[in-house]
Structure 1
Amino acid sequence: MNKKLKQCLGIDVSKSNLSICLGVLNTNLEKEFIGHCDVNNDLSGFKVMVSWIRKAVDNNVELVVLMEATGVYHQRVCQYLYNQGYKVSVMQSGRVKRYAQSLDQRSKTDALDSRMLSMLGLERSLRPWRPPSKELQELRALSRERSSLLKDRNVENNRQGAIESSCYSSSKASKRHLSRLHLIDAQIEAIEVEMQALVSKTTALKRRIQYLESIPGISFISAATVIGETLGFESITSAKQLTSFAGYDVVLRESGRFKGKTKISKKGNSHIRAVLHMPSMTCVRCNPTLKQFYQRLKPHKAKPIVALVAVQRKLLILMYTLWKNEVNYDPEYEIKKQQEPKALAAQDSIMV
């Protein structure tokens, strides 16, 4: 009789529905799948799903629940299942998409996607999801609200310029646009004050953000936005994963005689890339380490922006390193690192 080795519940999340499929891996390495009708993506649907899970799963074998990160729509079901004591894992959409492509599955439905997720969970070792702190979630919400208002301000600035440049300009329309601009500026300022207050009341968060602020060119808003978007780098385990998460991973297209351009994928968190643009321009002027790095790259790149993007990527990794190690920025770190091999070589020569 075949025994169950592993169980995985795949959940395909949409705004209003959840498509669920239970996958079971037996001792002969065969997979079995049990589907269920879609449930609502709300509390009533969660209760129906949990009731079915308790009847369908084998309590002697650990159950893993796997779903794909879908903006904000997966957050409530994640939190609910975590509170119920289930082991939950959330995977980035890029990894799920690449796995789905490897299956050569031409059709795409919610039911097939939930089955694919359960199959993925049976085959891979998954990193458990833990709910981020309330402070980090609030910080991310504030930073995104600020980002949205910045875009609105650019739109209103362009409209104001168009009104003033038109030969049929209206003083009343111009006044209304100016009033909207003042309102947006006031709201942006209020959000920044809220972000400062939120970080100040959490001692550990304030201390660790100050490590990031020790980098020349990094302001509080830049540091707080990166920490909010990554939720304190909670799900990041390496610099490579971080660059992919932010869309800074390099993509090269070549085939036969065709030589494509090398560029970043931009398939990641756009908020991080946007907030690091201005700090990178400051860093190439006042940060000794990144200034030297930029000057070394710039002559070999077709456009200066390419070297500037490389600075942004290096800056993000630097912020991640300081956050994880809980240390301040050391401007002489690169010099000390280069001197270490020389010191070791001198010691070897003395011993000989």
Structure 2
Amino acid sequence: MEKYIGIDISKATLDLYDGDKSYKVGNNREGFTFIRKLAKDKKDLVLIFEPTGVYAHSLISYCKQQHIRAVIVGSKEARDYARSIKQRSKTDKIDAKVLYRYQTQVDPSTITIPTLDTRMIRITQRRNVYDKYQHTITQLRNLIEATHKEDKTLIRSLQKQIASLEQSADTLLKEIENLLVEDEGNQTALENLQTIPGIGKKSAVALLLEFMRHPHAKSNEMVALMGLDPVLRDSGVFKGKSRISKQGGKHLRQKLYMATIVAIKHNDRLKHFYERLVSHGKPKMVALLAAMRKLLRIAFALVKNNEPYRALV
């Protein structure tokens, strides 16, 4: 009989819950050994945890070495489950209990010995730095906008910093692309994405990375993960109004926004879709957001079905 352990992972510690008792141990070999001893036979042990970046790598490696099974739950799935059981409080101890209770949602076929994909780790690390660079570039551009135009010395200094960061970001993006195309399937996916009018190489790389982060997501789930799902605002002067959730990565949404601007001019399918919404009285921004969602779904379908874009005939 399976012995489930819910684990909330932090940098230095692990919060555990085994159905009877809570524990806090170190995120280290000693802590992992403690977990191992919670079951009489390690073959019965099933760990449930979120893949919290580098903090989870040591635990995943230990599971692989010791042949311990695990269920790795995506952050969104964990949040949605917590809401479904009306668990609004959030502490490390409570999160471990929520993850323990998540066993009721587990498909037995997903209980496997986890592996650490070192290539994906390298890609993720570079992507995180790339996103930081993009965030800093945006901040510096905003500083230029807020700087008195006569202060040319300061403006030149900021522009030099932007140029340096852009060069570093381009180098990282190339490294990410090289790591991606080591897998022939990723090479094909990038090529297929770039057959969509409006999607260039940078947008293709960004989209593929996002799809790879959520390999089991469906089209609508991908829209939500990108923060493009509409949510209702129902308070005060905004009663009955809707907006996008903006839960996903801002920089990827910006790339998709720019790609959609191009697409509604040069992509017949998106152009007709956008113009039809506007002609039916939808505000242009609402129509544009709908076109962004449609473009994302098209890109997602091409990668899932391993096929290039086909224009309307």
* TM category, shorter: 0.7 to 0.9
CA distance in 1: counterparts of 2:285 and 2:251, whole angstroms:
18
Match of 2:22 in 1: 35
Specify the SS of the correspondent of 2:190. helix
Q: Decide which of 209, 220, 227 is 1:228's aligned counterpart.
A: 209
CA displacement at 1:222 relative to structure 2: 0.7
Match of 2:68 in 1: 86
Unaligned runs of 5+ in 2: none
CA displacement at 1:176 relative to structure 2: 2.7
Match of 1:347 in 2: none
Match of 1:315 in 2: 295
**After the TM superposition, which residues 209-248 of structure 1 pair with which residues of structure 2 at under 5 Å, given as runs?**
209-231=190-212, 233-236=214-217, 238-248=218-228
CA distance in 1: counterparts of 2:111 and 2:278, whole angstroms:
41
* RMSD of aligned alpha carbons: 3.0
Q: Decide which of 14, 18, 25 is 2:14's aligned counterpart.
A: 18
Cα distance change on mapping 1:273 and 1:163 into 2, 3 Å: closer
Specify the SS of the correspondent of 1:231. helix
Cα distance change on mapping 1:54 and 1:139 into 2, 3 Å: closer
Unaligned runs of 5+ in 1: 24-32, 336-352
Cα distance change on mapping 1:85 and 1:297 into 2, 3 Å: farther
CA distance in 1: counterparts of 2:300 and 2:261, whole angstroms:
19
CA distance in 2: counterparts of 1:66 and 1:228, whole angstroms:
24
Match of 2:248 in 1: 268
- Residue 77 (structure 2) pairs with residue 95 (structure 1): yes
- Residue 172 (structure 2) pairs with residue 191 (structure 1): yes
Match of 1:283 in 2: 263
Native 8 Å contact 2:17 2:97 kept in 1: yes
Amino acid at match of 1:13: I
Cα distance change on mapping 1:143 and 1:260 into 2, 3 Å: same
Q: Which is greater in Rg? A: 1
CA distance in 1: counterparts of 2:167 and 2:255, whole angstroms:
20
Give per-residue Cα distances to partners, 1:66-86, cap 9 Å, x unaligned.
123545533443343244322
CA distance in 1: counterparts of 2:14 and 2:156, whole angstroms:
48
Native 8 Å contact 1:139 1:224 kept in 2: no
Match of 1:109 in 2: 91
CA displacement at 1:179 relative to structure 2: 2.6
- Normalising to structure 1: TM-score of the pair? 0.75
Native 8 Å contact 2:57 2:116 kept in 1: no
CA displacement at 1:164 relative to structure 2: 4.8
Percent identity between the aligned chains? 27
CA displacement at 1:131 relative to structure 2: 4.6
The number of residue pairs the alignment matches comes to: 308
CA distance in 2: counterparts of 1:193 and 1:107, whole angstroms:
42
Q: Decide which of 46, 57, 64 is 1:64's aligned counterpart.
A: 46
Match of 1:150 in 2: 134
Give per-residue Cα distances to partners, 1:261-315, cap 9 Å, x unaligned.
1222222344432321111111111111111111112234653122112122111
Cα distance change on mapping 1:133 and 1:274 into 2, 3 Å: farther
- Residue 178 (structure 2) pairs with residue 178 (structure 1): no
After the TM superposition, which of the residue ranges 209-218 and 129-138 deviates more from structure 2? 129-138
CA distance in 1: counterparts of 2:298 and 2:185, whole angstroms:
19
Cα distance change on mapping 1:306 and 1:83 into 2, 3 Å: farther
- Normalising to structure 2: TM-score of the pair? 0.84
